[in-house]
Amino acid sequence: MQVLEFTFKVLTICGCWRPESWTSKYKRIIYRVYTVLIILLVNSFTLSQFMDIILIADNPDDVSDNFCILLPMFISCYKLLSLLANHKRIVKLTNILTKEPCKPSKPNEMKIYYKFDKGIQLNTFHYAALGLVTCISITFISLLTDFGERKLTYRAWVPFDYSSTIVFCMLYAHQLICLNMAALLNVACDGLICGLLVHICCQFEILAYRLRKIMLYSNTLRNCVRQHCKIFRFAVIVNATFRMVITTQLLISMLVVCFNLYQLTQMGISARCIRLAMFMCCMLTQIFVYCWYGNEVKLKSRQFIDSIFQIEWLEMDTHLKKSLIIIMKRTTMPIEITSAYTISMNLDSFMGILKTSYSAYNLLKQM
């Protein structure tokens, strides 16, 4: 049984997850070199954007134009380093899902598992398709407009002269490759976090099914209690591992939406306007998926107490009733995925972020 198969394939492409079959020493070295290459590519592009703000940009329009790509590239670099640093924790999380008591065993439990796992993988594929279409559109528009004028797709500070055709083409390709790699990194990290949140909901569904079978198999209550504790422990690990990633993503997405709105209002209908609009759709989707799945986890953990009341608990002995009361008492405090330790990931937070972005845009426009 493999968890989030499509997501881990994207992680492998991004240099964050060595394939399990690559066990030989030479293959490990090759993949490490590939990982270092990805780190250098993404960070070099981000550094060129940052230096452009410090050394070249001298007016609000240039700064705003730079921020529209610098901030997303910064969060891509941060996600890459976070995935590499938390490799052992990610392995630990996947092991919890594939071992007892969380591992589905009966056919109906396997159906529940595959329903959730296939659903999130399909959504991750659609998310990846959105990012891919956006990157292809940006590349195509840039080739039609910027390349012929010998302009780079994005502003950048370069410590050498690139007037030569070969050097310019290499630098131009470098920006587009880094853009596509950054999009893949976002798909991989966001798909992993949201996939783990979906599997929390899946575990609650499997646990509810097992509780309904307690009357037939009374010895399964011990495993149900263990599984319930594992679910909460799993949620705590996910939240602790990716809390700062989610916080940084929300803050940067809010700023990017703000600067994109400012840029869109300063220009008419053009190819660049379409490019910015598609880019902003991706940023809004990033915020939405975190808030949506965080909201689903909270709702599922809150609704679990209803599943307990649906079983024939009146006919149980005192020992079983006491165990169920303990589970119910713990369930009264639902699981909440938070960012910055205080902001819950739910649909209300999504609306709050949009309102804050618009307020910041109004302030920027007045200034």
Query: Which three-class secondary structure state does DSSP give residue 83?
Result: helix
Distance of CA 233 to the CA centre of its chain: 20
Cα 177 from Cα 125, distance rounded (Å): 20
* Cα radius of gyration rounded to whole Å, the chain: 24
pLDDT recorded at residue 40 = 94
Task: Return the residue matching tokens 């783990």.
Answer: 196
Q: What pTM did the predictor assign? A: 0.90
Helix (H) or strand (E) holding 344: strand 343-344
Specify whether the CB–CB gap between 86 and 241 falls below 8 A.
Answer: yes
Residues of the chain with pLDDT under 70: 1, 215-220, 267-271, 341, 364, 367
Choose among 252, 112, 116: nearest CA to 186: 252
Q: How many domains does the chain have?
A: 1
Helix (H), strand (E) at residue 338:
strand 338-339
Question: Which residue, among 288, 267, 273, has the nearest Cα to 357 in the 3D structure?
Answer: 288
Give the model's pLDDT for residue 29. 93
Helix and strand tally (H, E) in the chain?
10, 2
Token couple for 9: 């394939």
pLDDT for position 31:
93
Residues 195 and 4: beta-carbon distance below 8 Å: yes
**Residue 271: predicted pLDDT:** 66
What is d(CA 199, CA 195) in angstroms, rounded to the nearest whole number? Answer: 6
Residue 88: both structure tokens together: 């052992």
pLDDT at position 270: 66
| Residue range(s) defining the domain that contains residue 13 | 5-366
Cis link prior to 107 (omega < 30° from 0)? no
Q: Are 206 and 178 in contact (CB under 8 A)?
A: no
Residue-level pLDDT at 367: 65
Distance, in Å, from the CA atom of 56 to the CA atom of 344, rounded to the nearest integer, reads 39
Alpha helices, DSSP H, located in the chain: 5-13, 25-55, 60-85, 87-98, 107-145, 165-212, 221-265, 271-309, 318-331, 347-366
